[in-house]
Structure 1
């Protein structure tokens, strides 16, 4: 069955777990299963997905085994054909789907950008043959779906970027440096390279001195193999083909040290990858859009300079 027949349209302006959505510049929202049928590399297991605190407005979904994409389409009158795939953070234990997902998608829609919030699977041995590559497989699958449907969704297939927060930033950076190696063999030969990357207070390195230990241990622990530590230290995997980056980090982040963004920017600079690094003075970790410094204004300027906000002719 064609993918478009499997699209589950939950509502034009609201969805399960989502906050109230402002109608301004949002045309429709729909939820799409990331896979049809059995997920490659998965193990049949009990669905243990849950919400950490059902009374908290910032929904945090734990132990995800059923991955989906929530697509936010802007009003056709302002749509410019650019797409951003959003990977919320959560230490590879869950995803902060509202603060680092839906609310970001709404803001991107105001720019005419189509946004896709990915509820990716958590690395769990009981549900994956290789838990270390399960999230990356989901990120690559999301890129494949968005790019392969670019025509029907009126997207420019050369303007599909990826955006990640905290551990989601690690996943986004992983997709940006490992795009030549498809986790799922069925995706081999497809263009899995994001055209640009946007990283907010990202976990980048698995080096003991600067990593976020919880994210590292959840993805590749408890036993740390040197090859895996190196593979998932994304600053060590940058090449001249790595896509351009916009990176934001607070200098007072005590959860994910700012050195993560610094070493990644340095690697990008050494490989002559056009990138912008914004270090804001305060805000700690996990602020999403809620920082007294409006980093999104800087992002808008960067996207404008990258010709990502020009309306398609």
Structure 2
């Protein structure tokens, strides 16, 4: 059943109605943690450039294990942030951008599951469900970036409401979500026309964490599926260059934390290595951790018992040295 209900995606009084609209959990799902119910629509009326969009949103469940959920959002038309508030806020916010090859966004593995870990240490987390570039949006490849930039601005402009500092907004992106987080970190231009007072504030994050990111759009290390869904079957060299993170101007960007497994066969570790070279040349404060094993898309759950399971603590220690609580 589709989790997406346009009319219910508002805060406060709408929360009970939203909870009622969520699918009834089956026996196979009943042991998994409940979803947060505070949901924020990114756009007050409708997302920009949707006149040619005809897709219908879906959120299928792939898990048959009662201990966890594994959903993905596809054909999103009304992008949202789901808020996960900590019991003891530390003043920091984190926008989580899940991966999915720009074909869909995996909500649990790289969204809610990771958010729970950082919310437990006091960070107010926002899981982004963003639009996808091949669904007919006028902005095309920039449609997901519009959502990411708008989300950062909403968090910053409403920082007091969320109990966070406007200069302590991190973004964490995984896989193709890492590419999107990288775009939001590197690009200084707004991908959409301003619509309200939220669009007056800065659209760049104060800290960026990129997990096994899709960085390059160029052969031989490109993740072909991400490139196809973002730029089409035969993008020009100019388009490839324009959306390759390692070819962008990162001067003045916020500090970056890179995390990758050496045995990642889906998104080769060269993606992080090339980006690291660019960040170093731009004098961006950067820390990189490369693990011998872990594969791709491990998030939190898939590396339990392996060396890479310590990555949240490594990220917290790095951020703390920058006076940024995570």
Give me the TM-score of the superposition, normalised by structure 2: 0.85
The answer to whether the 8 Å contact 2:62/2:70 transfers is no
Give the one of 116, 120, 124 matched to 1:114.
Answer: 124
Give the one of 102, 106, 115 matched to 1:92.
Answer: 102
What residue number does 1:71 align with? 83
- 1:205 shift after superposition: 0.7
Which stretch shifts more, 7-16 or 280-289?
7-16
Give the one of 267, 271, 278 matched to 2:289.
Answer: 278
Provide, for residues 7-61 of structure 1, a one-character-per-residue CA deviation record: whole Å limited to 9, x for no partner.
24259999947974389xxxx6511111111222222533422234455531122
Give the one of 151, 169, 174 matched to 1:165.
Answer: 174
The answer to whether the 8 Å contact 1:14/1:29 transfers is no
Aligned mates of 1:155, 1:53 — CA distance in 2: 32
3-state DSSP of counterpart to 1:116: strand
What residue number does 1:38 align with? 46
- Structure 2: any 5+ residue segments left out of the alignment? 1-8
Aligned mates of 1:29, 1:303 — CA distance in 2: 28
Give me the TM-score of the superposition, normalised by structure 1: 0.88
The answer to whether the 8 Å contact 1:13/1:21 transfers is no
Distance 1:223 1:10, change over 3 A: farther
What residue number does 1:9 align with? 15
Aligned mates of 2:276, 2:84 — CA distance in 1: 30
Distance 1:193 1:218, change over 3 A: same
What residue number does 1:147 align with? 156
**CA RMSD, aligned part only?**
2.4
The answer to whether the 8 Å contact 2:47/2:79 transfers is no
The answer to whether the 8 Å contact 1:120/1:139 transfers is yes
3-state DSSP of counterpart to 2:161: coil
Which stretch shifts more, 279-288 or 186-195?
186-195
Aligned mates of 1:21, 1:52 — CA distance in 2: 17
- 1:211 shift after superposition: 0.8
What residue number does 1:301 align with? 317
Aligned mates of 1:44, 1:16 — CA distance in 2: 28
Aligned mates of 2:73, 2:165 — CA distance in 1: 31
Matches within 5 A, 1:202-217: 202-217=213-228
Give the one of 186, 194, 197 matched to 1:177.
Answer: 186
What residue number does 1:268 align with? 279
The answer to whether the 8 Å contact 2:42/2:150 transfers is yes
Give the one of 240, 255, 259 matched to 1:229.
Answer: 240
Provide, for residues 58-105 of structure 1, a one-character-per-residue CA deviation record: whole Å limited to 9, x for no partner.
112222222110011111xx2111001000000001111001000111
Aligned mates of 2:155, 2:248 — CA distance in 1: 25
Distance 1:142 1:51, change over 3 A: same
- Structure 1: any 5+ residue segments left out of the alignment? none
3-state DSSP of counterpart to 1:146: helix
Which stretch shifts more, 234-243 or 135-144?
234-243
Which stretch shifts more, 114-123 or 7-16?
7-16
The answer to whether the 8 Å contact 2:148/2:184 transfers is yes
Which stretch shifts more, 78-87 or 33-42?
33-42
The answer to whether the 8 Å contact 1:150/1:156 transfers is yes
Distance 1:154 1:231, change over 3 A: same
Pairs aligned (count): 298
Which stretch shifts more, 237-246 or 277-286?
237-246
The answer to whether the 8 Å contact 1:59/1:98 transfers is yes
Give the one of 82, 91, 99 matched to 1:81.
Answer: 91
